[in-house]
């Protein structure tokens, strides 16, 4: 009798009714995590319940939610059965509708053991975090990984910041911006963390440089420079000859970082490469002679914008503004690629994605 009452829990199975695919969801996994583990190209961006990229329609079955008040779903959406893959944990087997799948990018995610190899300041609030892993990791520049530290709840997601010359590396690095009040970044910034153990799950995400012939235009803010730098480094290794414009937005001069690395990249690039830093709140009496204002607005002055591919990475308000400007300027929607960096400390951010704290 006890065996019948407390027998092994049946693993829920999710059926993608629109694609004829099925996958299991182990205990403790979200629907999105299980889909990614199964190699299914479930669309995702933030993984914190804010962007809405992983939304699906529940057709049959029951689930529980990590956050039932996701800001990207309206009350009407919720009543119509729309849910978020990153916030949904199946209670029973499910049938769902998903508008479209994305092509799998790179190798499937895997779990790596590692330790902190070094922490190097890059600016007043950004450090380079380099890890030593137990085995080499292969990723496509633009992707990210989930990092976990014992004693800190939840994963923190960071984009790879350096392209490996040999295709894989056991010493990946990330750019980590300090988030006031953030548990992980407070831990990282306020002590010597070299040698501390952690786990890495990756690679994850679909952000990457696409093949084309036209100009490449990148707009980055904060630590959003990391995947942009990584993608351009790999493109240089691949002998890319497309012209590049890199717009980087900061508040003040002290926010600018990796300037030497970008200068070296520009000097080595076999085609025109323009790096344009833009400061939004720099003192009017300072010695700054570069551009001022909002970095997204600088898109409008670029030549051949409508013929370019646009890559956006950083704070959501900046990315949203740049995306809107690019589309209004005639850039096709399928030529605009975005990676929004969400902050776990903000309301509604309850786990991580390219989300940090």
- Average pLDDT on 26-50 reads 84
Q: Where are the domains of the chain?
A: 8-97, 110-206+346-356, 216-340
Residue of 100, 83, 74, 72 whose CA lies nearest to 30: 83
Mean pLDDT is lowest, of 64-78, 133-147, 271-285, for 64-78
Q: What is the pLDDT of residue 279?
A: 98
CATH class of residue range 216-340:
alpha beta
CATH H-level superfamily of 110-206+346-356: Translation factors (2.40.30.10)
How is residue 172 written in tokens?
A: 């990946």
CA 20 to chain centre: 28
Residue 160 φ then ψ, to 5° = -65, 135
Q: Which two tokens stand for residue 292?
A: 């001022």
The pLDDT tens digits of the residues spanning 74-103 come to 888 889 999 999 999 999 999 999 877 766
pLDDT over 80 at 227, yes or no: yes
Spatial separation of the C-alpha atoms in residues 5 and 321, rounded to whole Å: 55
Per CATH, the homologous superfamily of domain 8-97 is: Beta-grasp domain (3.10.20.30)
Give the pLDDT score at 350.
Answer: 31
Residues of the chain above pLDDT 90, percent: 73
Q: In percent, how much of the chain has pLDDT > 70?
A: 91
Q: Which residues have C-beta within 8 Å of that of residue 151, sequence separation ≥ 6?
A: none
**Is the pLDDT confidence value at 355 over 70?**
no
Q: Over 80: is that where the pLDDT of 48 sits? A: no
| pLDDT score recorded for residue 103 | 63
């Amino acid at each position: 009798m006890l065996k019948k009452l407390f027998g092994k829990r049946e693993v829920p199975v999710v059926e993608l009714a629109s694609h004829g695919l099925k996958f299991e969801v182990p205990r403790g996994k979200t629907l999105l995590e299980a889909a990614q583990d199964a190699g299914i190209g479930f669309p995702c961006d933030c993984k914190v319940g804010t962007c809405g990229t992983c939304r699906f329609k529940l057709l049959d079955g029951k689930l529980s939610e990590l956050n039932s008040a996701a800001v990207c779903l309206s009350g009407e959406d919720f009543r119509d059965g729309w849910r978020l893959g990153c916030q949904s944990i199946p209670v029973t087997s499910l049938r769902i509708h998903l508008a479209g799948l994305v092509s799998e990018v790179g190798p499937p995610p895997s779990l790596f053991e590692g330790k902190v190899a070094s922490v190097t300041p890059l600016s007043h609030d950004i450090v380079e975090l380099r890890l030593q892993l137990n085995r080499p990791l292969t990723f496509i520049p633009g992707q990210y990984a989930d990092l976990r530290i014992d004693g800190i709840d939840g994963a923190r997601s960071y984009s790879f910041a350096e392209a490996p010359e040999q295709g894989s590396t056991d010493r990946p690095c990330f750019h980590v911006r300090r988030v006031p009040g953030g548990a992980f970044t407070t831990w990282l910034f306020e002590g010597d963390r070299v040698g501390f153990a952690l786990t890495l799950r990756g690679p994850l995400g679909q952000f990457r440089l696409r093949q084309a012939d036209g100009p490449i235009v990148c707009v980055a803010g904060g630590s959003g420079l990391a995947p942009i730098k990584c993608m351009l480094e790999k493109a240089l290794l691949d002998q890319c000859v497309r012209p590049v414009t890199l717009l980087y937005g900061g508040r003040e001069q002290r926010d600018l970082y990796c300037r030497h690395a970008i200068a070296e990249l520009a000097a080595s690039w076999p085609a025109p490469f323009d790096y344009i830093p833009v400061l939004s709140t720099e003192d009017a009496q300072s010695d700054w002679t570069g551009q001022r204002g909002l970095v997204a607005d600088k898109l409008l002055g670029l030549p051949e914008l409508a013929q370019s591919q646009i890559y956006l990475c950083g704070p959501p308000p900046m990315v949203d503004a740049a995306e809107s400007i690019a589309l209004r300027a005639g850039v096709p929607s399928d030529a605009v690629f975005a990676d929004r960096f969400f902050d776990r400390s903000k309301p509604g951010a309850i786990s991580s994605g390219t989300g940090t704290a």
